[in-house]
Structure formats: C-alpha cells, structure tokens
Amino acid sequence: MSAVTGMRALVTGASSGIGAATADVLAAKGATVLRTSRTITGPSSFACDLVDGVEPLVSWAGDVDLLVCNAGLGYAGPFAAMPAAKITELVGLNLVSQLELVRAVLPGMIARDRGHVVLVSSIAGAMGVADEAVYSATKAALKAFADALRLESRPIGVTVVHPGVIDTPFFERRGAPYTRRRPRPIPPVAVAEALVAAVEHNRAEIFVPSWLRFPARLNGAFPAMVRTLQRRFG
C-alpha cells in the first residue's frame, strides 16, 4: 500500500500539465483528490483564481493531508520591457497565493500531527534564466520558503520540486514557445510520478529529470563559472 493511500489531497493548477498528471497519479494510488484551477470543471473540482484569495477554496476543500502547490504562470522577455502589471500577476500567483494557501491549511495539519506540503518550483528557481527574471525570482523564493518551513513545522513533510523542460502548455502561455533542441521536453507524468514518490519517501527536494541536480549544485558552488557557461550556451 502506498503512503498516499487514503490521503485527502488538494492539487492546484490541476486542469493540465503537471497538476493534472499529479492528480491522476495520486488518485490511482488511492488518495482522495481535490482539484482546482481557474477553469477546471468536473467532480471533486473547484474553479477559482488564487490571486483573488484562497479562503473560498480552503472552505470548500476542508481538512487536507497533502497540499500540492503547483499553480503558476510564466513570462518570457527582457525584464526592462516587462509590464508592471505582469510583475504583479506573477508574484501574486506564483508566490503570494502559494504562501497564503499553505498558511491556511498548515494549522490543521499541525493539529492533526500529520500532513505534507509540496511546492512546485523550477530549475529556474535554482539557477536564474535569462528573459525569465521574475519567474526565476518567484520560484527561488518558493525554495527558500520550503527550506524555512521544513525547519519549523516538523513532523509535517515539506518537498520542493524543480522540474526542467516539461511538455505542457506552459511555454505557449508565457508568450514564447520552447525552441531549443536540447534538453528535450519530458512528459508531465514523469514529474507527477517523481513528485508522488517524493511524498511517499518524505524527500525534501527533487529535480526532474534528476540530472538537473548537477548544474544546480554546480551553480551553488561555482556561480561565476556557471554564469559564463549560461552566457555562452544559453
């Protein structure tokens, strides 16, 4: 039996991509899955915009054992030309709403002495990406938040997930398609399966695909060298 069997799980951004795949994997393993996004429909689903506030969602969901904060938005383009409204939109959805949602469900988890929080960051949160400055900043903030939350909320599990290039509508929605030959996009179910395995084994941090751990760690140890490589190879 999986460790997530019988869990009541709330997954944000669950209408497509990583969120939809994660919800499906959790359901297949015997979890009761509650899905939310701006446009989602169907049973056990709640459509809402997290930027407008998390209270209606939390009231609908009730007590949850597993929270997967996956909702997010990208933007591609030079920071100097980025509209101010887009900065507010990205920070509001990718960061502020995630913190508010965790804050809303965490007291119940602590009171019940069980629970797990998953924050979906990005490789861009481990090493900045050109033309994605604000997106990188919001995802890096999630990583720092996860590290701090883990220290103060035991025995509640906290996992941060760093996906790389995933075959989802994300790139079209950010305003620029993915055009590089390498690395090739991987299917969202690969992230979903790794995410659920991380919950089952209470892992603090995962990279998907796993080889991304190397450049992220290299960036931490030798940032000047990595910046040089990024400028040369993109």
pLDDT of residue 9: 98
Catalytic choice (46, 75, 135, 170)? 135
Which phi and psi angles does 208 have, rounded to 5°?
A: -135, 115
Residue found under tokens 């297949």: 28
**117 near 158, Cβ under 8 Å?**
yes
What is the tally of structural domains in the chain?
A: 1
135 is catalytic: yes
Structure tokens that stand for 234 in this block: 């993109």
Residue (of 205, 188, 192) closest to 28 by Cα position: 192
Does residue 2 belong to any structural domain of this protein? no
The yes-or-no verdict on residue 121 having pLDDT over 90 is yes
Are 149 and 104 in contact by the 8 Å Cβ rule? The answer is: no
**CATH code of residue 220:** 3.40.50.720
Give residue 142's pLDDT.
97
pLDDT tens-digit readout, 70-90: 999 999 899 999 999 999 999
Residue 146 in domain: yes
**Is the residue at 163 inside a domain?**
yes
In the predicted structure, residue 5 carries a pLDDT above the cut 90: yes
Q: Would you put residue 210 in left (φ > 0), alpha (ψ -120 to 50) or beta?
A: alpha
Residue 1, domain member (yes or no) = no
CA 138 vs CA 87, 91, 186: distances in Å: 10, 6, 23
Q: Is 204 part of any domain?
A: yes
In this structure, the chain runs to a length of 234
**112 assigned to some structural domain:** yes
Q: What is the pLDDT of residues 147-184, one digit of tens each?
A: 999 999 989 999 999 999 887 666 666 666 656 667 78
Give the pLDDT band of residue 225 (cuts 50, 70, 90). confident
Question: Are the C-beta atoms of 36 and 16 separated by less than 8 Å?
Answer: no
Q: Is the pLDDT of residue 107 over 90?
A: yes
pLDDT at site 233: 60
Which residues constitute the domain of residue 62?
Answer: 8-233
In a domain, 122, yes or no: yes
Residue with structure tokens 């190879």?
233
Q: What is the pTM of this model?
A: 0.91
127 has a pLDDT exceeding 90: no
Query: Is 232 exposed, middle or buried (CB count within 10 Å of its CB: 0-12, 13-18, 19+)?
Result: exposed
Residue 3 belongs to a domain: no
